[in-house]
A and B are shown apart, each in its own frame.
Chain A
Amino acid sequence: MRITQGTFSFLPDLTDQEITSQLEYALGRGWALSVEFTDDPHPRNNYWDMWGLPMFGLADAAGVLHEINECRQAYPDWYIRVCAYDSRQGRQTVALSFLVNRPAAEPGFRLGRQEATDRRLRYTIHPYALDRPAGTRYGPP
Chain B
Amino acid sequence: MTRPGFALPKPAESRPGPGQDPAAPEPLADDATVDLTAERCGAGVDQILDALDSDLVGLRPVKTRVREIAALLLVDRVRGRFGLSAGPPSLHMCFTGNPGTGKTTVALRMAELLHRLGYLRRGHVVSVTRDDLVGQYVGHTAPKTRDAINRAMGGVLFIDEAYYLYRAENERDYGQEAIEILLQYMENHRADLVVIMAGYAERMETFFASNPGMSSRIAHHLDFPDYSLDELAAIGELMLREQRYRLSAAAEATFRDYLARRMTQPRFANGRSVRNALERARLRHANRLIAADGTLGKDDLMRLEPADFLASRVFSA
Chain B residues at the A interface, C-beta cutoff of 8 Å: 1, 3-6, 8-9, 15, 22, 121-122, 124, 143, 146-147, 149-155, 189, 192-193
- 8 Å CB contact of A63 from B1, B3, B22, B150: B150
Query: Is A111 interfacial (CB-CB < 8 Å)?
Result: no
Binding site of B, secondary structure by majority: helix, strand, loop or mixed? loop
B143 contacts which chain A residues (CB < 8 A)?
A: 52-53
Whether a CB of chain B sits under 8 angstroms from the CB of A16 is yes
Cα A66 to Cα B154 in complex, Å, equals 12
Nearest residue (CB) in B for A20 is B15
- Chain B residues within 8 Å of A63, by CB: 149-151, 153, 192
CA distance A61 to B178 in the complex (A): 22
Whether A104 sits at the interface, judged by CB under 8 Å, is: yes
Report B-chain residues with C-beta under 8 Å of the C-beta of A73: 8
User: Nearest chain-B residue to A14 (Cβ)?
Assistant: B5
- Interface pairs (13), CB distance under 8 Å: A13-B3, A14-B6, A16-B9, A16-B15, A58-B153, A59-B154, A60-B121, A60-B154, A60-B192, A62-B189, A65-B15, A69-B9, A104-B1
Going nearest first, the 7 A-B pairs with the smallest beta carbon separation are: A13-B5, A60-B154, A63-B150, A63-B153, A62-B192, A62-B153, A60-B153
Please state if B9 and A60 are interface contacts (CB–CB under 8 Å): no
User: Could you say which residues of chain B place their CB within 8 Å of the CB of A66?
Assistant: 150, 153, 189
Interface range, A side: 20 to 34
- Complex-state Cα separation, A105 to B5, whole angstroms: 15
Cβ-Cβ contact count across A and B, 8 Å cutoff: 73
Q: Name the B residues within 8 Å of A61 (CB-CB).
A: 153-154
Q: Which A residues lie at the B interface, using CB under 8 A?
A: 12-18, 20, 52-53, 55, 57-67, 69, 72-73, 76, 99-102, 104-105
Residue of chain B at shortest CB distance from A12: B5
Residues of chain A lying within 8 A (CB to CB) of residue B147: 53, 55
Smallest CB-CB separation from A104: which chain B residue? B1
* Contact A52/B146 with A14-B5, A66-B189, A73-B8 known, Cβ cut-off 8 Å: yes
Q: Which residues of B contact A101 (CB under 8 A)?
A: 6
Chain A positions within 8 Å of B155 at CB level: 59-60
User: Which residues of B lie under 8 Å from residue A58 when comparing CB positions?
Assistant: 150-151, 153
Q: Is the CB of A64 within 8 A of B6?
A: no
**Residue from B1, B6, B15, B124 within 8 A of A62 (CB atoms):** B15
The answer to whether B8 touches A72 (Cβ under 8 A) is yes
Chain B residues with Cβ below 8 Å from A14 are 5-6
Chain B residues contacting A57 (CB-CB under 8 Å) are 151
State how many angstroms separate the Cβ of B108 from the closest Cβ of chain A.
15
Report the separation of the CA atoms of residues A76 and B192 in the bound assembly, to the nearest whole angstrom: 24
Q: Which residue of A lies closest to B191 (CB)?
A: A62
Which residue among B4, B5, B9, B154 has the maximum number of chain A CB atoms within 10 Å of its CB? B5
Given pairs A59-B151, A102-B6, 20 additional interface contacts (CB within 8 A)? A12-B4, A13-B4, A13-B6, A15-B5, A17-B22, A20-B15, A53-B147, A55-B147, A58-B150, A58-B151, A59-B122, A59-B124, A59-B155, A60-B154, A61-B154, A62-B154, A62-B193, A63-B149, A63-B151, A99-B6
